[in-house]
Amino acid sequence: MLVVFLGPPGAGKGTQAGRLSAKYGLPQVSTGDMLREAVAAGSELGRRVQSIMDAGELVDDATMEAVVEERLRQPDAHGGAIMDGYPRTRVQAESFERLLASGRHGAVDLVLFLEVAEETLVQRLSHRRACSQCNANYHLEFKPPATGGTCDRCGGTLVQREDDREEVVRDRLAVYRTATQPLVSYYRTRGLLYEIDGAGSIDEVFSRADAAMAGAVSA
Ligand code: AMP
């Protein structure tokens, strides 16, 4: 089962993909997390992408394609995956189709499109904090850590991502509108798109995403 999360930054893709991953036993493939890990490790890839990410721009399609191809070859992804942050451009969507067709996965089964009003996105992102060690996400108001400034999961220090600063968030939203939003009609015309209202609590949105997923699993 190959599921793609689509939606603007701050729509809740990572949170919902994580919950579906736990429920359905499919790995969450977060390209953003993979790149952040590369940056933290100081690898060649990390050094190449850091300034692009900090500015809220997109990493080039060829690099992303290679990162995803390598990840989907890992044994835990043999039964499928929940894509969180990929594909993000039309070129990526097309090369993803070719990659899946040439391998064991075949094709995308379902695209979950999370819709959220722009002001809500800005509000969510500016209140987001991420663990500097394990990448777990928190929201200062709606999903605060038990002890301020520390990750509940691993005890790491919580920080604001460079690209969650308000001025960068506005740029990321503009990049989303230009580069990624066209994928909504791309997947709709293929009959794969399932639109989900991304407003409300994490549990409310999860029950909508889960209903779509359950429908696709039983189809
Ligand atoms: P995210 O955590 O998904 O918001 O991703 C953080 C940043 O990583 C993005 O702003 C991009 O710079 C980069 N990134 C993640 N996924 C992709 C992708 N599919 N294509 C290009 N850049 C990406």
CA–CA separation, 176 and 121 (whole Å) = 12
Q: Angle 210-183-80 (CA atoms, 0-180°, nearest 5)?
A: 45
Q: What is the DSSP secondary structure assignment for residue 67, as one 8-state letter?
A: H
Can you tell me the distance from the alpha carbon of 59 to that of 1, in angstroms, rounded to the nearest whole number? 26
128 tagged catalytic: yes
| Nearest CA among 62, 64, 85 for reference residue 176 | 85
Find the mean pLDDT for residues 213-217: 86
Under the banding of pLDDT at 50, 70 and 90, the label for residue 156 is: very high
Tens-place pLDDT, residues 37-68: 999 999 999 999 999 999 999 999 999 999 99
Ligand 1 atom index nearest CA of 30: 3
Does residue 164 contact residue 125 with C-beta atoms inside 8 Å? yes
Model confidence over 62-93: pLDDT tens digits? 999 999 999 999 999 999 999 999 999 999 99
Share of the chain above pLDDT 70, in %: 100
2-218 folds as Rossmann fold (3.40.50)
Give the mean pLDDT of the chain: 94
Q: Please spell the DSSP secondary structure of 90-149, one letter per residue.
A: HHHHHHHHHHHHHSSS-S--EEEEEE--HHHHHHHHHTEEEETTT--EEETTTB--SSTT
Residue from 19, 36, 129, 172 carrying the catalytic annotation: 172
| Residues at CB less than 6 angstroms from ligand 1 | 9, 31-32, 35, 52-53, 56-59, 64, 85-86, 88, 92, 163, 172
pLDDT score recorded for residue 25 = 96
Band (166; pLDDT cuts 50, 70, 90):
confident
**Mean pLDDT (whole number) for 209-215:** 93
What residue has token string 């293929």? 190
For ligand 1, atom 11: residue with the closest CA: 58
The whole-number pLDDT of residue 146 equals 95
Q: What is the pTM of this model?
A: 0.91
Which pLDDT score, from 0 to 100, does residue 135 have? 87
- Whether residue 219 has pLDDT greater than 80: no
Q: Are 85 and 156 in contact (CB under 8 A)?
A: no
* CA-based torsion, 10, 14, 16, 17: positive or negative: positive
Question: How confident is the model at residue 217, as a pLDDT?
Answer: 81
Task: Pick the range with the lowest mean pLDDT from 27-36, 131-140, 189-198.
Answer: 131-140
* Residue 109 pLDDT exceeds 90: yes
User: Is the predicted pLDDT of residue 106 greater than 80, yes or no?
Assistant: yes
Percent above pLDDT 90 for the chain: 84
- Three-state DSSP class for residue 206: helix
| pLDDT of amino acid 103 | 86
Phi and psi (nearest 5°) for 111? Answer: -120, 120
Look at residue 6 and tell me whether its pLDDT is greater than 90. Answer: yes
Q: What pLDDT does 215 receive?
A: 85
